[in-house]
Chains A and B, each alone.
Chain A
């Protein structure tokens, strides 16, 4: 039996909260503990024996550059980029599968992250001898995963034209018993990372566990004066500068940089993100020049490179940038030190008469009680005068 998978990313699903994106990039294409949800799902499918994978993604120009590397790493056989006619492309891909002699097509809308035994789902579909099987959560919510007989083109068309909302009456249901994260919001995205660090799901950090609960990716640079509290993940080639603190389930993804003295608490720093010096990043997802604050439930665009910036993806550009910054900072620093020294030389010491208190001035003895008055906590001649307003 020939099986193929049709994976949909950034699908415009109707009657739902806005598509799960951050700065136009679907959460499924954003790294979680070293790699994307999309890559992890592709690996799971290949492990289940589904070798042929086709991808349909929405051609959002902003998202395209960020999702390119993860899609290539996942190893899809064909990639179709679509604009408004997303579902039409999906129909065409299904039709191609049918013509090439495929028996079953697994349709996955990669919005939610679902840990499924795909072999079990397919076996369930075969045993029930149904035309279509829909995977649902324990509460009955559809998870956007379907197994369809390739010969049932009409069923697939109904499904695609309704934006994965309508299925024919005789659709079989398979209840997913594993971990489910709908990835609707930045909070869900963050929860996925935390659950991975706490080993509540199968999302394992890509790196070496250098201390209990602390995973460090290949080539990560952690300053010896930086402090990292478990559980935490430091991605490959990321930089943690001096006196910074990474704590409470924080995740620093690959090629990110946390500058000196910054505290990252219960947050995720996305790949290629620069976080400036001396900042407090708390309960947030930071990346793509944005901060999604999870407690305040607000998404803030940051234009100031001193606070949050984006490092170039290319290593050469990054090295050149660092070198240029060094040659800009160095002369400025030297000039500032020279100026400070000049100012120090110019400082004229105060004459002795001004530096020392006047000897002639009679200092009243505040401890001595005024005649005829009792002394309480304060001396009787002690007064506080403070003017308020113009009165």
Chain B
């Protein structure tokens, strides 16, 4: 926007301050600078008719100044539901060998190409700039999203139908005056696939290039079980996100993530009584909703009529599927919600459902899956009889009884039965972790409890609202009771060997004092552990940071799901074994270790070779080094060579500490 217009805009704001609502200011802004304010909408509608896409104008400045985000009116917006990605043929068609001539970024050949191709499904997700309005009281915000939207399109897949997703990087090559970095590598969390499709943090590619990720949608255990693997290894709720080394936080705050669901006969994506179906609420966007949580901060309305996102790890607005405190109209029947925390950093959501009377004593959320994996038996969580099922645990103490704690990158699939509530009543999903209500748009920021909020509930704790409607005759009938058994666990893992991972920040007296794993920073070229394909291991994941340092680490391991065998913590000054909360007893791919805590996990490494990662999923921590690579190698000979890499790197490390020039 020309300076003159910006100035006149400021004048308008000044003049109208205190006498006019924000919404009408926005309208005046649109009139004053119609060209720039309206252009994005025209572009959007043009795109719908197949016109060439033009990037929206970049932010005027990198917005960093906001102390508090602007106020908003709660519950006026509907919960957005990410639009499913549409399958379509790719041109040029995908191939086993990277098609570098046509712009594909170099990679190793797709593993198991012959087995999983011709792929049944292909689609393309293009990372590019877009505008997204997080609240109807706000102007647009400039984002980077897959296909220009946030959250990214929902990918709905099916076991047995492999998919190739072509990730195209159309972010502006100069970063477009944002805090994003225009190099990306996309990880499907937590897919079982080749390293070349895993979005390894060092394998990022620049703007103008693309890369095909082959997601076989197979169960782990292909070699062992044949066919499409061990169906007990089924997973459901995945998510995909940028994993660029050093810039994962920035690019995820910009908006580069989305959800990815894979159906199978037990969980088929519909509610009909088909063979093997658990008949959980299952129509996507009708009775089965993602709840993608994050927190953001926004700058004041600018001269471009926009509320830009602040480049900040934390936030003072809680976002669900890209909306601030939205409302979801539900019918009086059972619903499934796939809750995902995209962080980005320290956010942990201690979720409770609050009923119309302001309590959550019988407002039960029944957890059916943790990190994409069905629990053997459903686990009800509420503030009454089921308060002890909470996984908001530090040491041996439940810190938020009756809550489901969602750490960064974790997923919890819950069933809520709205049939017991009167039509017209409201329920609230909130975060009741200690200190969390201070964070958001509570009374301190000018927002007050809206009328009708149940007594005792602070708007600052509320993430979203459910509005119970009467189920129309055309609406799908309620599903049967939740089955008491949801799955059969895979055979117990018998480890071939053990290994220890130490996560720490600052052991006294050490140099350098960084976020490290096993004393090492992230090195794209050097593994810290080598594993022979087809073996199993027991890992001790230890957070060596002292109690009280607040350096908690939600540790994520790529590739296969693990089982938590033991938890350890310092209780009364003694490092001792503590119970594993019932919600951590299923299959997992993230385990949070609080300072001084540890987890013993068991995991298999089957079917593929290559580089994979273990890292803290606090995106600030992983960008600040807390990530290391481990390799799956084809055989014992390759392991010996791989191990020699570690020895060589250790020698270099030691030599550097001796002051030698290496």
Binding between chains A and B: no
Listed in ascending order, the chain A residues whose CB lies under 8 Å from chain B are none
Binding site for A on B (CB under 8 A): none
